[in-house]
Structure 1
Amino acid sequence: MTRWGITIPLTGVPLAQHRELVEQLPDLGYTDAWSAETAGTDAFSPLLLASQWAPRLRLGTAIVPVYTRGPGLLAMSAATLAECAPGRFVLGLGSSSPVIVENWNAAEFTEPYGRSRDTLRFLRAALAGEKVTKEYPTFSVSKFRLERAPEPAPPIMLAALRPGMLRLAAAEADGAITNWLAATDVPTVRAEVGPDTELAARIFVCPTEDADAARGLGRMLISSYLTVPVYRAFHEWLGRGERLAPMHEAWAAGDRQRANEVIPDEVVDELIVHGSAEECRERVQAYVDNGLDTPVIALLPTGDDPAEQVRALAPR
């Protein structure tokens, strides 16, 4: 089926006030609601509410860091949501970033590939109800078994940017989750996971015809995210290294304003979907036309009513 997702919760809207909109999402044409986890809500709670408000939606975490919860707690959190939304929950895992893991959560960000792989393997066994005692390369677990193993066990998708993690997602997970890419980048990513692996991507959408305002917001987001080493490497792999080099130089020099100013308009326009609601829908559809299975809209604030914007961005 054709999927069309939205990121919840919406910026500036209290979580409890999402009920009316979430209840409407399936009738609007949305198939999926996906959460995020940085410094706002946790990834599971908004989906737990949505599981009761909209029983037809597929729900996914994009993503839960593999470092910020112990393996057993991660299994319990996933099992709880899977019980509340049987057959409709997707657990999206990822390594996250040193800022979130180390600076904010007092954990050690080491061996992200290995930790992601080992957490994925542990969760496969734990969510199937197995008793797990195992020395993984990056952690060990002794005699863990879920008291409430979900039936069915949820699929697990892996956040991935470059070939190594994308291939791991294709080989051992049920799909790959990516973000911060242009519609024209999708074939490059698709080539690494193959034709049969579900590929989801969060797409940043700013539904306004004020291009200057959209680009201004886009520049701040791009300089904040794409200066993170994993995203820098991702865009170098995608071929944007030269065009983003001035931004990286200014950022390294501590000149944040200059870093924003030197991001080319065409890079902003590639990575941030903006324009009228109809134009935004067409641009999101271009990702699908290029090989994306599950577009997940992340609505950027414009000052207008975000609920009305979600309704306007629904598939036609």
Structure 2
Amino acid sequence: MTQNWGMTIPFYDRSLARSQELIAELPALGYTDVWSAEVNGTDGFVPLALAAQWAPETRLGSAIVPVSTRGPGLLAMSAATLADLAPGRFVLGIGSSSPAIVERWNAVPFAKPYARTRDTLRFLKKALAGEKVSEAYETFEIKGFKLERAPKTPPKIVLAALRPRMLRLAAEEADGAITNWLSPGDVRKVRAELGQDTELIARLFVCVSEDTAKVREMARWMLASYLTVPAYAAFHDWLGRGEALRGLHEAWAAGDRQTALKAVPDEVIDDLIVHGDAATCRARIQQYVDNGLDTPVLAPIPGGEVSIDQAVRDLAPKA
């Protein structure tokens, strides 16, 4: 598989409105992909629509859009719009998301996440191919939906997948898998479940800084807020970090956030956050690739000794 090299957009230190110049620079630096996200900042589609114009050489991907916060038909419409803007260059990344995002922030029940993701995938494959869909799935029923303008080139669909069941679904029915918060060594375990022929994409958080203590302190809240989400807790149990993270989970469940932050082991931070000078970071990213990662999607974190602009340039394939 051709080696891809992705960048997360927008950048963490600026708004989408201020991102045009650096996004436009990415192809010349050797970046092949730009990938959005959707949590509580920008939505997953608008940054890609703009990047389709600002950096027309790049592949565009969403990592990820939740399957429960939009109706299936609306999700198909949004995907079709991007596929029309960037024929053959848009990849729709979908996933179950989390109870906080789905229920607490969007007032939608977070029910049967695996089944909802599977059903949405199956619906989207038909809808984006231009079919009229009337079907009762396990988690929803569609009655007579057909895109007014189906894309000439249906987008590939990839799934957020952390553990064996979802990874197998990605391998069997989707075009790839997206994962997050893992070490280079963890890639081997994920790849073993996914197989060798399915694209594996992962967002890698990078801080170009030689101040290890500062990076660890900054990273504790990021890690604590993610690794206490049930899906990520189960993921790291599966990866073998259950005991190392026991103190974090116990303090978090008790509502003691300060103790929870202190309980995140340094070795876990060093496993999951890429940090050091630019050369060290590039070597670490290469370890992910060597272990089976097809598409590293870099997410430079502010706070290092160099600016985000310089980090993007220093970490580029052509640096």
| Fold-level similarity (TM above 0.5) | yes
Separation of aligned partners in 1, 2:213 and 2:7: 24
Separation of aligned partners in 1, 2:312 and 2:68: 32
Separation of aligned partners in 2, 1:223 and 1:258: 11
What's the CA shift string for 1:195-237, capped at 9, x where partnerless?
Answer: 0000000111111111111111211111110011111110000
* Worse overlay, 212-221 or 37-46: 212-221
Instruction: Confirm whether residue 91 of structure 1 aligns to residue 101 of structure 2.
Output: no
Amino acid at match of 1:137: E
Separation of aligned partners in 1, 2:185 and 2:145: 44
Amino acid at match of 1:309: A
What's the CA shift string for 1:222-274, capped at 9, x where partnerless?
Answer: 11100111111100000000111011111111111111112111111000011
What's the CA shift string for 1:173-192, capped at 9, x where partnerless?
Answer: 00000001001000100001
Q: TM-score, normalised by structure 2?
A: 0.98
Separation of aligned partners in 1, 2:262 and 2:240: 20
Instruction: Confirm whether residue 33 of structure 1 aligns to residue 34 of structure 2.
Output: yes
The offset of 1:104, in angstroms, is 0.3
SS of the equivalent of 1:152 reads coil
Structure 2 partner of 1:308? 310
Amino acid at match of 2:316: A
Separation of aligned partners in 2, 1:168 and 1:285: 27
Instruction: Confirm whether residue 260 of structure 1 aligns to residue 300 of structure 2.
Output: no
The offset of 1:277, in angstroms, is 1.2
Structure 2 partner of 1:247? 248
Matches within 5 A, 1:83-232: 83-232=84-233
SS of the equivalent of 2:243 reads helix
Amino acid at match of 1:283: R
Separation of aligned partners in 1, 2:42 and 2:191: 30
Matches within 5 A, 1:30-109: 30-109=31-110
The offset of 1:14, in angstroms, is 2.1
Separation of aligned partners in 2, 1:150 and 1:307: 35
Structure 1 partner of 2:236? 235
Runs of 4 or more, structure 1, over 3 Å off, are none
Separation of aligned partners in 2, 1:182 and 1:12: 24
Structure 2 partner of 1:23? 24
What's the CA shift string for 1:3-62, capped at 9, x where partnerless?
Answer: 110100011312122111111111101000000000000000000000011111000000
Amino acid at match of 1:127: L
* Worse overlay, 32-41 or 249-258: 249-258
Amino acid at match of 1:285: Q
Separation of aligned partners in 1, 2:133 and 2:248: 47
Q: TM-score, normalised by structure 1?
A: 0.98
What's the CA shift string for 1:53-84, capped at 9, x where partnerless?
Answer: 11110000000000000000000000001100
Separation of aligned partners in 1, 2:41 and 2:207: 20
Show structure 1 runs of 5+ residues with no match.
Answer: none
SS of the equivalent of 1:204 reads strand
- Report how many aligned residue pairs link the two structures: 316
Separation of aligned partners in 1, 2:307 and 2:74: 37
Show structure 2 runs of 5+ residues with no match.
Answer: none
The offset of 1:305, in angstroms, is 2.5
SS of the equivalent of 1:181 reads coil
SS of the equivalent of 1:171 reads helix
* Worse overlay, 110-119 or 304-313: 304-313
Separation of aligned partners in 2, 1:35 and 1:6: 9
User: What root-mean-square deviation, in Å, do the aligned CA atoms of Structure 1 and Structure 2 show?
Assistant: 0.9
Separation of aligned partners in 2, 1:224 and 1:68: 21
SS of the equivalent of 2:125 reads helix
- Percentage of identical aligned residues: 65
Amino acid at match of 1:271: L
Amino acid at match of 1:123: L
